[in-house]
Amino acid sequence: MNVRVAITGLGAITPLGNTITSTWNALISAVSGVGPISRFDASAFSCRMAGEVRNFDARDYMTPKEAYRTDPCIQYGLAAALMAAHDAGLEKSGYPAHRVGVVVGSGRGGVTTTERNAAAYLAKGPKGVSAFYTPMSLVNMTSGYISMKLGAKGPCINVSTACATGTHALGEAMKIIQRGDADVVIAGGTEAALTPLILAGFCQARALSQRNSEPTQASRPFDRERDGFILSEGAGVLVIEELSGAEKRGATIYAELVGYGLTSDAFHYTQPDPAGDGPYRAMASSLADAGLEPEAIDYINAHGTSTLQNDRIETRAIRKAFGAHAGRVAVSAPKSMLGHMLGAAGAVEAAVTALSLHEGIIPPTINYEHPDPECDLDYVPNKARKQDIRAALTNSLGFGGINASLVMKKLS
């Protein structure tokens, strides 16, 4: 039996806003969420800008005691999950608790808590470490916390695959529903890795942009003058459920989730395979899983990090996967406005892809000013585009050579 899966709820915390609506409106208005780092003194770093979450108060979603005992990674993920669950109307859905699952991942987990407790240990020894350090920092704790808050007693797992985390979480959630282990799954990714240690690591790896005098112009995927990505933070969570159940209860259906592909480059721990074979196979696999030909895709939400090699290799892979159709499909990179949210990126971009299908609008790739001969697709430059979209694909590529693609389409 072919179980069809619908996207019925969206939630997000991002540098562009603390709801999916504010994030979406900023994206289609070509607004950048990148700015100078204000959370700590970044004057000694080669990159001094980021996509910070602003004006977020965890006490809007939990008690003050709970906020004190949770890392921002958990807080962002829980907030996005509660918004997605409310958007989907889960509280009135009638699903039995044991048929509701959670798959919300993170690439880094509670790294803010780890850094603080490491400093306390060095200053005071073992007694300086919080009794809550372990649960606050565990990478799976966001899924656990969401399940407790929402009473979801079905499958509850974590995915941690670097920058592909959110996309893998959604794909695995779809498969959980299709194999009959749950009727509805709350799925996505969360990240709060904007800390001195993480920033220093990426700076030392020379992965980040150094266009510090022009932060809103620093993230420029596919542009010839790109010089690295922008570290960002936040969360994206979606509610997905069996289509028949969603229709029966009259839920809003943003899109149908129809295909999932995942591969490994098996090449290098940070550098993607120059041939683009891994992302090509992920896209091809997701299309096969969806039962669609490449020509059915009208929009690709690209990984598009604004790094020299990644953008060229993703373009190469798209050309390989889509052949002659590659020149006709619209491709855009929300990271030009959001920055790179690491483990949360794929989930936020999946929510954006679903909204693109639902609203008939493609967000642009901003800061696209200088064409790169090796990046020669239609990147929807600088201005959102109104377009009817039948089906769309979203890509995520992660350190370790990890690739994931999802395919969505309008409900038919």
Report pLDDT digits (tens) over 215-240.
Answer: 999 999 999 999 999 999 999 999 99
Confidence of residue 70 (pLDDT cuts 50, 70, 90): very high
State yes or no: pLDDT of 382 exceeds 60. Answer: yes
Structure tokens at 263: 């591969």
> What CA–CA distance (Å, rounded) separates 21 from 18?
8
pLDDT for 140: 96
Collapsing DSSP to helix, strand or coil, 159 comes out as coil
Local confidence band at 355 (pLDDT 50, 70, 90 cut-offs): very high
pLDDT at position 237: 98
Q: Which amino acid is at 31?
A: V
- Give the pLDDT score at 165: 98
**How far, in Å, CA of 50 to CA of 231, rounded?**
5
Residue ranges of domains in the chain:
5-248, 260-409
Instruction: Tell me what percent of the residues of the chain surpass a pLDDT of 90.
Output: 96
Residue 404 predicted with pLDDT over 80: yes
Confirm or reject CATH 3.40.47.10 for domain 260-409, answering yes or no. Answer: yes
- b/e per residue, 264-283, with b = 16+ CB within 10 A? ebeeeeeebbeebbbbbbbb
User: Tell me, what's the pLDDT at 169?
Assistant: 98
Averaged pLDDT for residues 41-70: 97
pLDDT of residue 272: 83
pLDDT at 270 over 80: no
pLDDT score, position 333: 98
| pLDDT of 185 strictly over 70 | yes
CATH match of 5-248 with 3.40.47.10: yes
Kindly write down the DSSP assignment for every residue of 111-147, as one continuous string. Answer: HHHHHHHHHHHHHH-GGGS-TTHHHHH-TTHHHHHHH
Residue 160 has pLDDT above 60, yes or no: yes
Q: Which two tokens mark 147?
A: 């399940």
State yes or no: pLDDT of 58 exceeds 70.
yes
- Check whether 1 has a pLDDT greater than 70: no
Q: What is the DSSP string of 356-403?
A: HHHHTEE--BTT--SBBTTB-SB--BSS-EE---SEEEEEEEETTTEE
Q: In this predicted structure, what is the pLDDT of residue 273? A: 86
Q: Which amino acid belongs to residue 366? A: I
Strand partners, 168: none
- The backbone region for 309, taken as left when phi is positive above 0, alpha when psi lies in -120 to 50, beta otherwise, is alpha
Domains 5-248 and 260-409 share a fold: yes
CA distance 307 to 219: 9
pLDDT given for residue 31 in this prediction:
98
Instruction: Please state the rounded mean pLDDT for residues 332-360.
Output: 98
What DSSP assignment string belongs to 291-351? T--GGG--EEE----S-HHHHHHHHHHHHHHHGGGGGTSEEE-THHHH-B-GGGHHHHHHH
Average pLDDT, the chain: 97
- Residues that are catalytic: 163, 303, 340
- How would residue 154 be classed by pLDDT, with cut points 50, 70 and 90? very high
What pLDDT band is residue 269 in, cutting at 50, 70 and 90? Answer: confident
For position 271, what pLDDT does the model report? 80
Which pLDDT tens digit goes with each residue over 4-53?
999 999 999 999 999 999 999 999 999 999 999 999 999 999 999 999 99
Mean pLDDT of all residues in 174-203: 98
Q: pTM to 2 decimals?
A: 0.97
Residues 394-403 pLDDT 10s: 999 999 999 9
